[in-house]
Chains A and B, each alone.
Chain A
Amino acid sequence: MNRALFRRLGVASGGALLLALAVPAAGAGSLSSSAPDGQATTVMDGRLVFNDYGTGQLYTSNPDGSALVQVTHLRASRAFYPEWSPDSSRIVFNAFPTGEMRLYTIKPDGTHRHLVTAESPGYNDWAPSYTPDGQRIVYARCAPDPPGGGCAIYSVRADGADRRAVTTYGHGIREAVDFRPQVSPDGHWVAFSRFNWKGIGLQIWLVRADGTDAHPVTPARLRAGDATWSTDSRTLYFQAGPPLGLGIHVFKTPVNGSHVTQLTFTDYPNGDFNPDSSPSGRRLAFISDRTHPDLCCQDLYTMNADGSNQQFADTGLSLPGQPDWGSAPLQNGPSADVPQLSAAQLQAGKTLATRAETPGLLLLSSRSG
């Protein structure tokens, strides 16, 4: 059914609509393992940053989930899509304390939160990540809806100046939602998820950093999104699966899309999603609800880059999501207190986690949730 049409006709969509559109929230990105000049550097697999859909806050932890630290303490908003800066001194994320989604940076200890860039009313900025040299931030810039609400990939200097378009807003059947950009470690390419372009539900695309040579990597049938790069910029890890948000798995493909390898095999309707490559390239972080047959909750996991040695990371949180693996030193010490959520809060959080197929839906449900 034409949902947009019926909304406009004044026939409200039921709650089942949003649930039905559910796809687990988009994943995290990779940090560069090379200096901007291409010289190899020694990288460590340090701490992870992620959001939690139950509390709405950002957290960091060691890869095994220990030494949990709460980064944000937002009251009138929720935080999404955290990403480390290449030197792990800051975290960029998006939140909506003023009603519209904006980009912020914050120190890992929760201090020095800054708005990245001013934005025009009606626009919403999502899913930021740093370029490998840390000089710029790429993100999805979503136009007002109505009239269209399409999103394009933009970049802005880390100090908020010099906004540039990487992809353009399409019109008609070319109108699309370009989302979740990730710059390759060599800095040459941007991988992003493209929703609803010319009737194709979701595909991973590549575009050169200067905006040229945009092309799809994955076949339409795969319904692939949330790409993250290998450290050598030759492989993309991503999630793919049915359009209902359940039964999604982690895959990998060479950047030319020549073949696809499935890395996780959790049974439907549970799934594995939000992959992110570690700085060393040897491990992946991801999210899974594999131990929750009632779909109530989800957990942080890590595995080798070939899918082996999958390990549960016990954060104590009920709904961690969107991990990004940085190089900040591992920590000792106790974990932060984790609030016990009511069944209703869990339900709202998990629903929020699975409404992330389109930025508009997530924004809508974030505000109401």
Chain B
Amino acid sequence: MEHRMHRGQIAAASVLTSALLAFVPSSTASAGANAAPLVVNGRIAFSTGFIQPFPDTEGHSQIFSVNPDGTDLQQLSNAPKGSQAGDPDWSPDGSHIAYVSNVPGDFSVMVMNADGTGRHLLIHVAGSDFFTPRWSPDGTKLAVVHCRYLNGYLLGCDIEVMNADGTHRRLLVGSHVVNQDPEWSPDGTQIAFDSNRDGLVRAVWLVNSVGGGLRRLTRPAIEGWYPQWSPLGNHILFGNNAERPATNTFVMNPDGSRSRQVTHVPSPRSAFLATYSPDGRHAVFISDYLPGRGGDLFTMNANGTGVTPIVLDHPHVTFSDWAPATSSTDAATR
């Protein structure tokens, strides 16, 4: 299935997003500060439903990919009605996408080729759910969220690491809390994640990828969530207000210092789930900034300028990930 964006929608949205830019302070870091040289940006994958430790099982989520300029939208998954496929993550070489689906019954980790072919089950454990698979930088491992239940009651969500073929799964961060949204540092030595551990509503944490070294990066009041490393490993994007109505995207150093706001969408609207482009010069994110709509997909420069809508005709766009250009995803237009 393939269809293109409505150009009329893009034009109208561009007018509105010029207003959004008015909220971007001139003092933010210059675009390209996180740039990884010699990397070309490829396609963006995203899903259309809410799949996380508290999934929207009444909705219907599919995975799509699109060029960064919004052209050539393609549906990659084909989950039957009443089931979900979502939360895609490109392999480091852009050849595969890891994602989750409840087609096997419980949410399980799946892998498919970049064009949606070759879908296969990687790991499924009856009575528990997996969410948010994330490739290690060398492509040999996956970090996942594993949620366990008892008679419908959530016992906890752990961060686990396993080989890319689904073998040798081991616990990285556990306890009776919800740990989620893992993301490898570019050098593979650390994993950022968010959690409600330590009595906090939500905060961004860091742990060594081999275990140990657990430390909190964001202060409690900011309710940090969904951390995303810059390609050079010198910054981490994250959202604030994890459990409040309005959230914006922030950036901080990997030690938690120098936290500053990147998007400035006025409350009660939001800009969130931001992910860097492979070259680090841009980010893709979700926002309900445009009136009368659900979540739309936008790109921006890494400093928050140049906001551009790219997908407007899918309601409830959620998780996205930006691939490096490959022979199969060489659509670098930004």
Contacts and interface: CB of A to CB of B under 8 A. Distances in A.
Interface of A: 1-6, 8-17, 19-20, 22, 146-147, 173, 175, 196, 198-203, 219-223, 242-247, 268-269, 294-296, 347, 351, 354
Given A5-B270, A244-B177, A201 B196 contact: yes
Contacts of A268: 176
B152 A19 contact: yes
A242 B197 CA distance: 8
Nearest to B175: A242
Contacts of A146: 245
Given A1-B180, A5-B270, A10-B315, A244 B155 contact: yes
Most buried by B among A2, A17, A221: A2
Contacts of B247: 2, 5
B58 interface: yes
A221 B150 CA distance: 24
Interface residues on B, range: 35 or more
Interface of B: 49-50, 52-59, 149-156, 175-178, 180, 196, 198-203, 219-223, 225, 239, 241-247, 268, 270, 272, 288, 294-295, 315-316, 318
A5 B245 contact: yes
Contacts of A222: 199
Contacts of B222: 173, 199
A199 B220 contact: yes
A368 B242 CA distance: 26
Contacts of A294: 150-151
Contact of A9 (B53, B178, B316): B316
B199 A219 contact: yes
Contacts of A2: 225, 239, 241-244, 247, 270, 272
A269 B150 contact: yes
B243 A14 contact: no
A1 B54 CA distance: 8
Minimum-distance CB pairs A-B, first 5: A199-B220, A242-B176, A20-B154, A17-B54, A220-B199
Given A5-B245, A9-B316, A200 B56 contact: no
8 contacts: A3-B54, A3-B243, A11-B295, A16-B154, A17-B54, A199-B223, A221-B199, A242-B175
Contacts of B55: 14, 16
A220 B219 CA distance: 13
Contact of B153 (A4, A12, A196, A354): A354
A12 to B, nearest CB: 5
A25 B175 CA distance: 22
A364 B275 CA distance: 34
Given A2-B247, A16-B57, A199-B202, 8 more contacts: A2-B225, A2-B270, A5-B247, A173-B221, A242-B176, A242-B177, A244-B154, A269-B155
B61 to A, nearest CB: 9
A332 to B, nearest CB: 38
Given A14-B55, A200-B200, A8 B268 contact: yes
